[in-house]
Amino acid sequence: MPFKADLGSEDGYLLGGDVEDIAIENGLKFYVDWQKGQKTGFFVDQRENRSLLERYSKGRSVLNMFCYTGGFSFYAMRGGAKLVHSVDSSAKAISLTKKNVELNFPGDSRHEAYAEDAFKYLEKMGSNYDLIILDPPAFAKHKNVLRNALQGYRKLNAIAFEKIKPGGIIFTFSCSQVVSKENFRLAVFSAAAQSGRSVRILHQLTQPADHPVNIYHPEGEYLKGLVLYVE
């Protein structure tokens, strides 16, 4: 449609009325804001990685940074985590996370949620966790800010390496198209070296098959992740 200066914008559905605002993924239920939430309102590209996290959660104290609506948190709870703390700078996201807790685990005291800046939370926290999820929003959407983005990934992971308990596991991600797999790994490896701790790669993660990558557009492999064991 040609652009018109007097044409306003409006959220809504092209066909039908309002739809059910609950999505089900692997038996877990999630309230979703389809119209105003990030992306489609729910990050389906992380579903396989959430299932993997569930396998590592039993008996662990879990910190889910940049939790959005709590996806990783609930897989950790179902996996038998001892406690789960969800952190996001958005008060709206934290409110939705709390609703999702009650939807899946009503009255469960293992979960707490905090609306707080991620870096400030990490810097002031003690060594209380042995499983940490770092799934930040894109630090770089354009190549001219790539250097700052890589510094952000190094800083974020360095704090996690410093604070996590011995024998802990870190799930760390980048969803920035302009950050290559190699650059992300180098940023994480630099953070590990800075911490002076022994770190091993358990898994190398990406998006699922329904988010295919055109061989001529490698930037389409936007989701990069590592599962790391920290001695």
Beta strands in the chain (DSSP E): 22-25, 28-31, 61-65, 83-88, 111-115, 131-134, 168-174, 199-205, 224-230
Q: Is 24 helix (H, G, I), strand (E, B) or coil?
A: strand
Would residue 5 count as lying in a domain?
no
Q: Which domain holds residue 150?
A: 43-230
Would residue 213 count as lying in a domain?
yes
* Closest C-alpha among 177, 182, 178, 185 to residue 227: 185
Would residue 143 count as lying in a domain?
yes
* Closest C-alpha among 29, 52, 13, 15 to residue 131: 52
Low-confidence ranges of the chain (pLDDT < 70): 1-20, 34-41, 139-143, 145
**Predicted local confidence at residue 202, as pLDDT:** 98
**Predicted local confidence at residue 30, as pLDDT:** 87
- Count of domains for the chain: 1
Residues with Cβ within 8 Å of 12's Cβ and at least 6 positions away in sequence, in order, are 35
Cα→Cα distances 201→173, 176, 182, Å: 13, 21, 14
Instruction: For residue 63, give the DSSP letter.
Output: E
Would residue 93 count as lying in a domain?
yes
- CB-based burial label for 75 (10 Å; 0-12, 13-18, 19+): buried
- CB-based burial label for 215 (10 Å; 0-12, 13-18, 19+): exposed
Would residue 30 count as lying in a domain?
no
CATH number where 203 lies: 3.40.50.150
**Predicted local confidence at residue 210, as pLDDT:** 80
Token pair in block for residue 84: 């789960």
| Residues identified as active-site | 175
Would residue 99 count as lying in a domain?
yes
Would residue 17 count as lying in a domain?
no
